[in-house]
Amino acid sequence: MGFEYVKALHIIFVVTWFAGLFYIVRLFIYQTEALERPEAERKILKPQLDLMASRLWYIITWPSAVLTLIFGIWVLSYRWGYMQLGFMHAKLGFVFLLYVYHGYSHVIFKELQAGKARWNSTKLRLWNEVATILLFAIVFLIVLKSTVSMLQGIAGLVGLAVLLMLGIKLYKNYRIKKGE
């Protein structure tokens, strides 16, 4: 298979993996909030949300993570010279953190499937933004191919994180005012 096809498949599975990561944490939020509902509502919501989370996690997110890794290594085999460049080490470091994020999300998934919510919905909303920050870091590094620009990128990521946290806080206040 030619390089361009392998690269295209890698990008496709990165997209589906991130779609799964973004949506699974939304489902975690809904599952957590469902556990706080009265028994009658919880009996209806929990099984449906558990089923949705299970299908998303095992049919889309996990396979996409594995295929992203396989095609990513394959792409790197075509561009092994990149391993001599600092930007690739930084990018792979962020990719490693993304797999750690995925692994910890699996822990949260298993706990929620068992009906245990250690995190509240606000903490889960913040957790959801970790994937966003990693996405920005990885994409900017691979597109710019520069660790010099990485310092500016890190400053931008910190700014992005602050904006995301501010947005989450504003949304929480809005929900409280609405009475949700």
66-88: b or e for each residue (b if 16 or more CB lie within 10 Å)?
Answer: ebbeebbebbeeeeeebeeeebb
Exposed / middle / buried, residue 127 (Cβ in 10 Å: 0-12, 13-18, 19+): middle
In 114-169, where do the E strands start and end?
none
Question: What single letter denotes the amino acid at residue 42?
Answer: R
Is residue 178 annotated as involved in ligand binding? no
> What is the rounded CA–CA span in Å between residue 118 and residue 121?
10
> What is the rounded CA–CA span in Å between residue 106 and residue 67?
17
Question: What single letter denotes the amino acid at residue 52?
Answer: M
Is residue 106 annotated as involved in ligand binding? no
User: Binding site: what residues are annotated?
Assistant: 10, 91
Q: Which amino acids are annotated as binding site for heme, given as ranges?
A: 10, 91
